[in-house]
Amino acid sequence: MPRTQPARDEPVFPAYPHEVVAVVLSVRDDELSVLMWKRAKPPDARKWALPGGGVGPDERLRTAIGRHLAEKVDVREVAHLEQLATHSNIKRDPRGRVLATAYLGIVPTSATPSLPRDTAWQPVSALPATAFDHDEFTSAAVDRLRAKLSYTNIGFALAPEAFTLASLRDIFSAALGYPVAPTNLARVMNRRRLIEPTGTLSTPSRGGGRPAMMYRFRLRELAVTDPFAVLRPPRSQSR
């Protein structure tokens, strides 16, 4: 059957909006958490949503997501940002068709963004009711992060500039969702040459414990370090 030609004033391409959303992950209070804000108006009023918004007519996606994070939730210390997924379900927004592209953003534990009153870090293990398809974006981001912790140096984005091996173990355990053996983590980090000593010691604890050596990541940009997953869940959790 021949294809109908569009009228002269009819657009050849669909003219529906495009938005960007950010799945910003960080370890907060020893839990992997995602940044969300509570919607005040319908649709999905009182549900929690990922920060984001529309893309300007002359704006690139990455520029748009950076603008929304800075303007709406004052998150400027994003250590890593990468495109995650695009959802094109026609009915994902009841107001009309909206194409959504999500970005995975990672904020180090040392960052202290000034959050609006309607915004909070939500533990990914116990998400509240979420708006639209934002739970699916969040789940995809958590899976992406946990996979990359096994074969890249993406841990640099979660950790502060300097850290002890004990604090790095706590960060990795929270991010992966299961305890990581400190000896295993140190062996992996050193074998892959991911971290190096800073030459300084930590501040002595109030309990009088000995100061520990401080470390830092050798490279603070994403790099593949090993194509094989090394940090695996305990056997009881991997079955």
35 backbone dihedrals φ, ψ, rounded to 5°: -85, 125
For residue 70, give both structure tokens: 């800075």
Interval 84-99: pLDDT, tens: 999 988 888 888 888 9
Instruction: Specify the CATH number for the domain of residue 78.
Output: 3.90.79.10
* In a domain? residue 1: no
* Domains: count for the chain: 2
Task: Look at residues 109, 126, 149 and tell me which one is the last residue of a structural domain.
Answer: 149
pLDDT at site 224: 92
**Do 36 and 92 sit in the same domain of this protein?**
yes
* In a domain? residue 41: yes
Candidates 6, 22, 198, 194; CA nearest to 113 is 22
* In a domain? residue 61: yes
Q: How far apart are the two ends of the chain, measured CA to CA in Å? A: 53
**Do 118 and 192 sit in the same domain of this protein?**
no
**Do 139 and 85 sit in the same domain of this protein?**
yes
Interval 29-69: pLDDT, tens: 999 999 999 999 999 999 999 999 999 888 999 999 999 98
Interval 209-235: pLDDT, tens: 788 999 999 999 999 998 766 566 666
Task: Look at residues 111, 130, 149 and tell me which one is the last residue of a structural domain.
Answer: 149
* In a domain? residue 126: yes
**Do 170 and 129 sit in the same domain of this protein?**
no
* In a domain? residue 239: no
Least confident of 87-91, 148-152, 180-184, 228-232: 228-232
**Do 34 and 118 sit in the same domain of this protein?**
yes
**Do 63 and 108 sit in the same domain of this protein?**
yes
pLDDT at site 237: 55
Report d(CA 25, CA 27) in Å as an integer: 7
Percent of the chain with pLDDT over 70: 87
Task: Look at residues 149, 166, 192 and tell me which one is the last residue of a structural domain.
Answer: 149
Instruction: List, as one string, the DSSP characters of the chain.
Output: -PPPPPPTTS-SS----EEEEEEEEEEETTEEEEEEEE--SSSSTTSEE-SEEEPPTT--HHHHHHHHHHHHS-----SEEEEEEEE--TTSSTTS--EEEEEEEE--TT------TTEEEEEGGG---BSTTHHHHHHHHHHHHHHHHHHB-THHHHS-SSB-HHHHHHHHHHHHTS---HHHHHHHHHHTT-EEEEEEEPPPPTT-PPP-EEEEES--S--B--SS------HHHH-
* In a domain? residue 232: no
Instruction: Specify the CATH number for the domain of residue 198.
Output: 1.10.10.10
Report d(CA 145, CA 117) in Å as an integer: 27
**Do 119 and 63 sit in the same domain of this protein?**
yes
> CB under 8 Å to 126, separation ≥6 — which residues?
none
Which domain, by its residues, includes 184? 154-223
Report d(CA 91, CA 89) in Å as an integer: 6
**Do 30 and 90 sit in the same domain of this protein?**
yes
* CA 223 and chain centroid, separation: 17
**Do 65 and 142 sit in the same domain of this protein?**
yes
Confidence of residue 11 (pLDDT cuts 50, 70, 90): very low
Looking at every residue in the chain, the average pLDDT score rounds to: 88
Contact of 121 with 39, CB cutoff 8 Å:
no
Contact of 176 with 154, CB cutoff 8 Å:
no
* In a domain? residue 73: yes
Query: Does the reported pTM lie above 0.75?
Result: yes
